[in-house]
Structure 1
Amino acid sequence: MSGMRVRYVHQGYFPARAGAELMTRSLAVAMSRRGLRVGLYGGEGDPEDERLMKAAGIGVEPLPVRDGEERAADLVHAVDAFQPENIRTGLRLARAWGVPFAVTPASAPDVWPHRAAVLEGCRRADAVFVLTDAERDMLRAEGVADSVLHRIGQGAHLPGTADPEGFRAAHGISGPVVLFLGRKMRSKGYRVLLEATRHVWARHPEAHFVFLGPRWDEDWAQWFAAHADPRITELDRVDEDTKLSALAACDLLCLPSTVDVFPLVFVEAWMCGKPVIGSAFMGSAEVIADGRDGLIVPPAARPVADAVSRLLADPAERARMGREGHDRARRELTWDAVAAQVHRVYTELVPARS
């Protein structure tokens, strides 16, 4: 359907940032480039993202309070079950306008604040986009029809300019860098990595740990105070140049998350040729090819430290895993590939309702 009008629903976390938000905006831009007329219902966003959306011709509006009389879209697509209001609002608008409704949960059930509302939205959706087969199996077991489930991939969000040497100089880093990139919330594993630092230093005293991402937990500062060391750098939200510079400067990414679906930061690390270390979560074996582009380890200090130390001690293995991840990301994990999959589903849904 030429000129299909799509409205995405994701209210965001500003001033914090999350992978689901980047996913929504990256998909919106990719679909706009494919000729769709795209808009986003959401809250205030990062200024860099707002410029990117504006350049792609995408309008960003507040979540509608009322349905209104005029149909504003041919399809409504809500993202992120961590914010169930996205799904409720998207479904309400779609039904009021008589158009198909699509949803991407984009987060693990363990963090859904209103599981029943999310599952009801998925059961009533015309399309549900999942990131792994494990997520598909979980939703199928919860009563979501197999016919509406569609597996898609992830893509990297790296619009910045890398300056790895500048990043190292700015933070006084001379040794190898272990990067944690994500929200500082317990389930993401930043506490485990903090506890692992002393075990790594016993074998690699020159290692430097960088924790970059929104300060989420109420007690995040106490955790860093308890593990204070000049070899630890803690950064809050940063701009895209700094984020990409950190990825380019690091030797490996470590995110021992236990509650996830498909962390976007893994794809971003692979696009930069870096190996990743993660822990088991729903579908983790589909996300990380253990021993090929990264390692999957138990979410405890010593196993994480052993994995970090193993890769720090073996530059050849780090390089091999980084190449494997890079090749896979370039081959399979791009927003062009995701947009093609999603667009195909959209075109199947919209004519059926037109």
Structure 2
Amino acid sequence: MTSVRVVHRGYFPARAGAEVMAQYLAESLRRRGHRVGLYCSGMDGESARWMASAGVEVGVLPATARPGDRPDLVHAVDCVWPDYPQAALRLARAWRVPFAFTPASAPGVWRDREAVLEVARAADAVFVLTEAERRVFAGAGVAPSALHLIGQGPHLSSTAPDGAAFRARHGIDGPMVLFLGRRMRTKGYELLLRAARTVWADHPGARFVFAGPDWDEDCAEVFAAHRDPRILDLGLVDEAEKADALAACDLFCLPSTVDVFPLVFVEAWASGKPVVSAAFEGGEEVVRHGVDGLLCDRDPDAVAAAVGRLLGDPAAAAAMGAAGRARTERELGWEAVTDKVEVVYARLTAPRAGSADSTS
């Protein structure tokens, strides 16, 4: 089995999609018998308990490559801030082990584009989530042989979700539209807030539920400007509440404008819910328009039209949710992702003829 150090900078105390991907990967690899450690800047209590139960050692990224800590491979996840991928690459080179990189975020949110591309070009393997992302890195000089498409997977609470209990807790008895994610403009929370009034013209009983951490500095002011009893702001929620919310909603709407492959889309499909997203680079690969969700233009009226279309046709919405669930069960999941990652790890760590690690 392979010894792996997964590296992620973290968004603590709030968990984001890329951070959760790093945790899911670590857990999945450990479950298959690999020795896995996770280096990060810190961890909330729920995540720490989850990693401990999975047998994943969590630690702070070391400043130097101590010989006794040497793994077989270092794998950095996410590149919004390039400091952790850069540090992970330095550790891998100091230990003289392969370096893998999952960028996990779109160029529109990178803090230092050239730094990210330098790390990608130096990596022994770059894991991408869509063909569109593959084209971005290939066009920036990453060797095609280093690029590997792995996709996404859901990981919901192990407790059976209870949508009816969620509705009862929050007094919801009509149509429910759910947003889960960081409250930042590129994720589209403001687009959805602005779309709500247009949706209410035809669906006055629709409730809009928002859950996730504040990210933009003016989040409180934005929500205050759209205050209405039909808008429910839950803030940060735990995994059980998230699963209940997904079970309770009629559709999931995250009109992201800068993304790669939102993890929460797969979680919505796993819950049998259709997805509404604004168009982003490669979005047509992620959301199959009219099949498991709807893609729309990046403006409130277009978002309102897509949401209204699904609320007005529950049968079509249910069919799209069922298609998303079938697709998830067929091709999207952490077992499939880990299968692909393991194949690359095995190739990278295989003893090479003439190397110090090879056998005669």
Q: Same fold (TM over 0.5)?
A: yes
- The CA deviation at 1:84 is 1.1
Which residue number in structure 2 is paired with residue 301 of structure 1? 300
Which residue number in structure 1 is paired with residue 289 of structure 2? 290
Give per-residue Cα distances to partners, 1:43-82, cap 9 Å, x unaligned: 2212222122112211000011122233520000000011
- The CA deviation at 1:83 is 2.5
Which residue number in structure 1 is paired with residue 120 of structure 2? 122
Q: What secondary structure does 1:70 align onto? A: helix
User: Aligned letter for 1:272?
Assistant: S
Answer yes or no: is 1:67 the counterpart of 2:71.
no
After TM superposition, list the pairs within 5 Å mapping 1:18-97 onto structure 2: 18-97=16-95
Which residue number in structure 2 is paired with residue 240 of structure 1? 239
After TM superposition, list the pairs within 5 Å mapping 1:101-250 onto structure 2: 101-161=99-159, 162-250=161-249
Q: Is contact 1:160-1:244 (8 Å) kept? A: no
User: Aligned letter for 1:105?
Assistant: P
Q: Is contact 1:294-1:321 (8 Å) kept? A: yes
Distance in 2 between the 1:169 and 1:223 partners? 27
Q: What secondary structure does 1:52 align onto? A: helix
Distance in 2 between the 1:4 and 1:277 partners? 39
Distance in 2 between the 1:38 and 1:67 partners? 17
Distance in 1 between the 2:95 and 2:70 partners? 8
Q: What secondary structure does 2:67 align onto? A: coil
Q: What secondary structure does 2:62 align onto? A: coil
Which residue number in structure 2 is paired with residue 255 of structure 1? 254
Distance in 2 between the 1:133 and 1:324 partners? 21
Ranges in structure 2 where 5+ consecutive residues have no aligned partner:
none
Q: Does 187-196 or 160-169 show the bigger shift?
A: 160-169
User: Aligned letter for 1:133?
Assistant: E
Which residue number in structure 2 is paired with residue 313 of structure 1? 312
Q: What secondary structure does 2:342 align onto? A: helix
Q: Does 84-93 or 287-296 show the bigger shift?
A: 84-93
Distance in 2 between the 1:134 and 1:153 partners? 12
Distance in 2 between the 1:338 and 1:83 partners? 24
After TM superposition, list the pairs within 5 Å mapping 1:266-277 onto structure 2: 266-277=265-276
Distance in 1 between the 2:49 and 2:157 partners? 12
Normalised by the length of structure 2, the TM-score is 0.96
Q: Is contact 1:178-1:254 (8 Å) kept? A: yes
Give per-residue Cα distances to partners, 1:110-158, cap 9 Å, x unaligned: 1100111110000000000000000000100001110100000101020
Distance in 2 between the 1:49 and 1:153 partners? 23
Normalised by the length of structure 1, the TM-score is 0.98
Q: What secondary structure does 2:33 align onto? A: coil
User: Aligned letter for 1:255?
Assistant: L
- The CA deviation at 1:108 is 0.2
Distance in 2 between the 1:307 and 1:128 partners? 35
Distance in 2 between the 1:296 and 1:255 partners? 10
Q: Is contact 1:168-1:174 (8 Å) kept? A: yes
Q: What secondary structure does 2:350 align onto? A: helix
- The CA deviation at 1:160 is 4.7
Distance in 2 between the 1:160 and 1:243 partners? 12
Cα 1:296–1:178 change in 2 (3 A) is same
- The CA deviation at 1:169 is 1.7
Q: What secondary structure does 1:211 align onto? A: strand
Q: What secondary structure does 1:278 align onto? A: strand
Q: What is the aligned counterpart of 2:9 among 8, 11, 14?
A: 11
Q: What secondary structure does 1:168 align onto? A: helix
- The CA deviation at 1:17 is 1.2
Give per-residue Cα distances to partners, 1:286-344, cap 9 Å, x unaligned: 10010000000001111111111110011110110000000000111110000000000
Distance in 2 between the 1:302 and 1:193 partners? 9
Give per-residue Cα distances to partners, 1:76-105, cap 9 Å, x unaligned: 000001131221111001000000000000
- The CA deviation at 1:164 is 1.3
User: Aligned letter for 1:37?
Assistant: R
Ranges in structure 1 where 5+ consecutive residues have no aligned partner:
none
Distance in 2 between the 1:352 and 1:322 partners? 46
Cα 1:290–1:352 change in 2 (3 A) is farther
Give per-residue Cα distances to partners, 1:242-291, cap 9 Å, x unaligned: 11111000000011101000000100000000000001111101100100
